[in-house]
Amino acid sequence: MYFTQDNHQRSENDSIHPHDQTTEMHRSRNITVSLIHSAKKTHFNRPQPPNDTDLEPYRDSPDETDSHPDDNPAFEEEDPDANQEQIDTARAEELRAQAVVLASFHALAPEPEAGVPANTADDTPTTHSRIEHVKFAQQFIEEISNATLDNGKLDTDVIESLRDPDTSAVDLSDPDIRLSLDLFMACNNASEETYKAVRASIESRFPEAKVLSYYSVKKLVANISGVVSILDDMCIKSCHAFTGPFADLQSCRTCSAPRYDPIQIALTQKKNPQKQACTIPLGPQIQALRRSQHGASAMRYRDKKIQEIFDSLDDPNAVYDDIFCGNDYLDLHERLNLTSDDTTVSFSIDGAQLYQNKKSDTWIAIWIIMDLHPNSRYKKKHVLPALIVPGPDKPDNLDSFMFRSFHHLRALQRENNGLGLCVWDALKATVISSRIIFILGTADAVALTELDGRVGHHGTHGCRLGCDMKGRHKPGTGHYYAVHLKPNNYTVEACNHPDYDFCNPPLRSSVENYHIDLAKVIASRNQAEYERNRKLTGISKPSILNGLDPDFTLPVPLCFSVDLMHLLSLNLGELLIPLWRGLLPCDSTDNRGSWDWVKLVDNVWTEHGKLVAAATQYFPSSFHRPPRNPAEKISSGYKATEYYLYLFGLGPAYFRTILPKKYWWNFCKLIHGVHILVQRSITCQQIREAHSYLVQFVEEFEHIYYQRRPDRIHFCRPVIHTLLHTAPEISRIGPGSYASQFTMERSIGDLGKDIHQPSNPFGNLCQLALRRSQINALKAVCPELDKDAAPHIPKFSHEAGSGYIFLRPRDRNAILLNGPEEEAVLLDCGRSQVLRWGRLRLPNGQVARSKYSESKRTAPNKRISRNVKVVMFLINYLVSYQYLDEYRWSS
């Protein structure tokens, strides 16, 4: 088991829990250790579990009983004027909650005999919630906990090759086969007809060539790659898949649409599913990754990185530049003694827009192989498709669709008594056991609540990260806001707690607290109680990830983090701009006239909008989408990148001339923090710095805008509070850019585009996704078939070493420089005649142009891309600015 907080009752006899020693080791690089380990505040002294017969079934794990924590902050919430009867009810409830906690701990306990399903469903009478959708989630989780390869809808030959991987090298020596494979891959984005036509042309010119038929080559690719798909019937309106508790239903339990085509049944008695979702199981895809030496070597990045991290533990300048630098991974690493054989994965799900005029019409989930170098990890070639839910309707019960993917993962985790999946490692030339470790689950805002089982942020403990910060609400409403400072003249009971202590960085919910809260939600006896508990805990149902092997998983809720892209761009943008425009609701007791920060109005707003739009020409093309005119477009789908460049790019300069000084200063503190958060590489010192600026921003924000006024409580949106978590999260799971949904969305979008063919309706997506995975796996197995393996070098370019490439335009002949240009070049290079090149591709993929090339461009929409950040060395550069030393650029 795995807890972030020390459980004092438990730690003594818990020898397998290495957290203490581990954190000692990381102390030098960790700024939040002390926070994580600070003693928990006891708000409510819970009674010890009594000798109640109700608890008997759970008694078989005594140390689990001991581990029951003593406190539960949420219990403070009990109605203060409760009469005796209510107290009794509360007590009874509590006991039931405890029972369920014990049950869930029991379910978490490592199974004694792996390989044999624990059959918790039979052995342990798990308390199912009376709330239907919670019960369903529990049932999915139970079924996942009992997963084996044999009960996962896989064909016997697939299971066989998962257990006994092919160890022979793939033979591509037959030129006909090689030609067929090359041709098939070249036609990846074309139709079957194209393949056939090319094949016919080749055979008519070279009659001796025997190009495989389309059918045969497809089969061959499937065979070599080993990648298969599992289809699950689903409701034609996407309500749910017929899996888990719904597996035997004949019609949708939500909308009653029949599972099978009624006409087909009437005509032929055949059961033809109306619609199917497609899962591409992870196992074979993982096996393919190490089957070539090239692939096996790429899979060793994580291990090398970890060595680097351990070597730099005492280095004060050590940086966080990947997820593995975070303490949660390092703890996991030490606890499991992870090796280069093991495989670490993250899961991401997102709606993808494949067709015009639909918001999200297809839901795609992917596996990210964390063992690869970050620069290839997120690219579409290395991202493994996990699940395709064809649209156009939005899936209602996402658990039922994700079920198959996690069921399979759990089965892989169970293989060989938990030693791992058998994988042929070409570098070691042996079959290794690879434990499949689950690290992070990410999703877009809509799907995240499905994945993490949390609700919106209107509850008492509304923090998405489940910290113990307690919200407050206005008198007479139940809608809580993340208000840190206690309002003046405020008498709302249970919200009257003193100011939040900004000195102590927030503590995110520990695994044990999560389970206690969850148990309370599960134990709710009726809808009203459920709703109350949901509000209290912020949990609406258990996350489906609870079904994975807790030993091989960064457990719920630690496997969820903050999505910076959403938080910084959308949430902040949708608060600050309306705030400055004076669009936030104004209570009757408040007076808009006193809002002296409202400056984005009338002409100022219109002119400001035009200025933002005019900035486009100065944004290099590698900056993607520059902000459109906010005065016109801010409410028509303003994108996250637009918000980012608008607020955090143009903001410091643009709002300087508009906002009164104190508001601008406050805003600059936010910017300073954010500029650090979005870096790909962050030092410990910078994490502290970012945190300090963000805390100042948040505290000051409340002082200058909300001003402790009860009628302005609604200014304090959850995003303001979440900012306090962002810096500590870096030390936990590394910089946000490695877990940002931005990265994931792009991967998913690319995948979506790739499998989207205009001629094919939704139904074909599954086949296309499968073919894509097979081709990717084939490239992994036989890297020689991968035509894009080498970095793309454009025509007529000239490599300049270290990843820099000169690009055209270029002078035809060397020219003689004159004036200051000649002087400079003569001074440094001793010549005055050069052949000028126009553009330079940087190692980071950006293209820097130059005055020379941009003067030649006549396109009307040209965007200036010739300004660069350079690092100069003092030796040949003498001007010095003292204050520059204090300036830290993100490089």
Using rule CB under 8 A, residue 847 touches other proteins = yes
Q: How many residues interact with other proteins (rule CB under 8 A)? A: 112
Among 680, 688, 708, 709, binds other proteins (CB under 8 A): 680
Using rule CB under 8 A, residue 527 touches other proteins = no
In the complex, least distance from residue 723 CB atom to other proteins, rounded to whole angstroms: 15
Instruction: Pick between residue 91 and residue 379 the one whose CB is nearest to other proteins.
Output: 379
Among 356, 488, 759, 867, binds other proteins (CB under 8 A): 867
Using rule CB under 8 A, residue 662 touches other proteins = no
Choose one: 79-87, 196-204, 332-340, 671-679; the region binding other proteins (CB under 8 A). 671-679
DSSP labels for 104-151? HHHHHSPPSSTTS---HHHHS-PPPPSSHHHHHHHHHHHHHHT--GGG
In the complex, least distance from residue 675 CB atom to other proteins, rounded to whole angstroms: 7
Instruction: Pick between residue 365 and residue 567 the one whose CB is nearest to other proteins.
Output: 567
Using rule CB under 8 A, residue 75 touches other proteins = no
Using rule CB under 8 A, residue 380 touches other proteins = yes
Cis peptide before 273 (omega within 30 of 0): no
The amino acid occupying position 572 is L
In the complex, least distance from residue 861 CB atom to other proteins, rounded to whole angstroms: 10
Please state, in angstroms and as integers, the Cα–Cα distance from residue 838 to each residue in 528, 848, 866, 867, following that order. 69, 9, 10, 13
Enumerate residues 87-116 that contact other proteins by CB under 8 A. Answer: none
In the complex, least distance from residue 440 CB atom to other proteins, rounded to whole angstroms: 15
Cα–Cα distance measured from residue 516 to residue 64, given in angstroms and rounded to the nearest whole number: 13
Instruction: Pick between residue 513 and residue 571 the one whose CB is nearest to other proteins.
Output: 571
Residue 667 burial by Cβ neighbours in a 10 Å radius (0-12, 13-18, 19+):
buried
Q: Are 5 and 40 spatial neighbours (Cβ–Cβ below 8 Å)? A: yes
Choose one: 9-17, 500-508, 581-589, 871-879; the region binding other proteins (CB under 8 A). 871-879
Enumerate residues 346-375 that contact other proteins by CB under 8 A. Answer: 374-375
Instruction: Pick between residue 368 and residue 455 the one whose CB is nearest to other proteins.
Output: 368
Choose one: 35-43, 125-133, 286-294, 672-680; the region binding other proteins (CB under 8 A). 672-680
Enumerate residues 717-776 that contact other proteins by CB under 8 A. Answer: 735-738, 740, 742-743, 746-747, 750
Among 621, 685, 764, 832, binds other proteins (CB under 8 A): 621
Q: Per-residue contact track with other proteins, 798 to 837, x per CB under 8 A?
A: x-xxx-x-xx-----------xxx-xxx-xxx-x--xxxx
Using rule CB under 8 A, residue 665 touches other proteins = yes
Handedness of CA 481, 484, 489, 490 (dihedral sign): positive
- Sorted by sequence, the CB contacts under 8 Å of residue 785 that are 6+ apart come out as 172, 181, 182, 185, 778, 779
Using rule CB under 8 A, residue 860 touches other proteins = no
Choose one: 179-187, 233-241, 376-384, 705-713; the region binding other proteins (CB under 8 A). 376-384
Q: What are the beta bridge partners of residue 816? A: 833
Cα–Cα distance measured from residue 572 to residue 664, given in angstroms and rounded to the nearest whole number: 15
Instruction: Pick between residue 81 and residue 886 the one whose CB is nearest to other proteins.
Output: 886
Q: How many of the other CB atoms lie within 10 Å of CB of 761?
A: 11
Task: Report helix, strand or coil for 345.
Answer: strand
Choose one: 330-338, 468-476, 480-488, 847-855; the region binding other proteins (CB under 8 A). 847-855
Instruction: Pick between residue 424 and residue 560 the one whose CB is nearest to other proteins.
Output: 560
What is the rounded end-to-end Cα distance, in angstroms, of the chain? 39
Among 19, 96, 721, 839, binds other proteins (CB under 8 A): 839
Instruction: Pick between residue 581 and residue 746 the one whose CB is nearest to other proteins.
Output: 746
Among 270, 790, 812, 877, binds other proteins (CB under 8 A): 877
Q: The tokens of 348 are what?
A: 């991401």
Cα–Cα distance measured from residue 413 to residue 549, given in angstroms and rounded to the nearest whole number: 7
Angle between helices 765-781 and 282-289 (to 10 degrees): 30
Q: The tokens of 123 are what?
A: 């052995």
Using rule CB under 8 A, residue 326 touches other proteins = no
Instruction: Pick between residue 163 and residue 831 the one whose CB is nearest to other proteins.
Output: 831
Cα–Cα distance measured from residue 271 to residue 267, given in angstroms and rounded to the nearest whole number: 10
Enumerate residues 684-703 that contact other proteins by CB under 8 A. Answer: 693
Enumerate residues 592-611 that contact other proteins by CB under 8 A. Answer: 611
845 — phi, psi (to 5°)? Answer: 95, -15
Per-residue HEC secondary structure of 699-734 comes to HHHHHHHHCCCHHHHHHCCHHHHHHHHHHHHHHHHC
In the complex, least distance from residue 659 CB atom to other proteins, rounded to whole angstroms: 11
Using rule CB under 8 A, residue 85 touches other proteins = no
Instruction: Pick between residue 135 and residue 610 the one whose CB is nearest to other proteins.
Output: 610
Task: Report helix, strand or coil for 668.
Answer: helix
In the complex, least distance from residue 572 CB atom to other proteins, rounded to whole angstroms: 13
Among 297, 417, 657, 760, binds other proteins (CB under 8 A): 657
Instruction: Pick between residue 64 and residue 322 the one whose CB is nearest to other proteins.
Output: 322
189 — phi, psi (to 5°)? Answer: -95, 5
Q: Are 741 and 569 spatial neighbours (Cβ–Cβ below 8 Å)? A: no
Cα–Cα distance measured from residue 463 to residue 718, given in angstroms and rounded to the nearest whole number: 7
In the complex, least distance from residue 365 CB atom to other proteins, rounded to whole angstroms: 18
Q: Which H helix or E strand runs over 318?
A: none
Please state, in angstroms and as integers, the Cα–Cα distance from residue 620 to each residue in 746, 806, 846, 849, 850, following that order. 20, 18, 9, 9, 12
Enumerate residues 625-644 that contact other proteins by CB under 8 A. Answer: 641, 644
Cα–Cα distance measured from residue 133 to residue 141, given in angstroms and rounded to the nearest whole number: 12
Q: The tokens of 202 are what?
A: 């080749």
Please name which of 218, 372, 345, 235 lies closest in space to residue 281, comparing C-alpha atoms.
345
Among 458, 525, 709, 866, binds other proteins (CB under 8 A): 866
Instruction: Pick between residue 199 and residue 380 the one whose CB is nearest to other proteins.
Output: 380
Q: Which H helix or E strand runs over 799?
A: strand 798-801
Rounded to 5°, the CA angle 854-859-862 comes to 55
Using rule CB under 8 A, residue 878 touches other proteins = no
- Sorted by sequence, the CB contacts under 8 Å of residue 770 that are 6+ apart come out as 227, 228, 229, 278, 280
Using rule CB under 8 A, residue 623 touches other proteins = yes
Instruction: Pick between residue 543 and residue 737 the one whose CB is nearest to other proteins.
Output: 737
In the complex, least distance from residue 780 CB atom to other proteins, rounded to whole angstroms: 17
Using rule CB under 8 A, residue 385 touches other proteins = no
Instruction: Pick between residue 333 and residue 669 the one whose CB is nearest to other proteins.
Output: 669
Sheet of strand 384-389, all strands in order from the earlier edge strand to the far edge? 230-233, 276-279, 384-389, 362-369, 343-352, 436-443
In the complex, least distance from residue 61 CB atom to other proteins, rounded to whole angstroms: 43
Tell me which residue has tokens 């809509």: 446
Among 615, 633, 709, 762, binds other proteins (CB under 8 A): 615
Enumerate residues 550-579 that contact other proteins by CB under 8 A. Answer: 564-565, 568
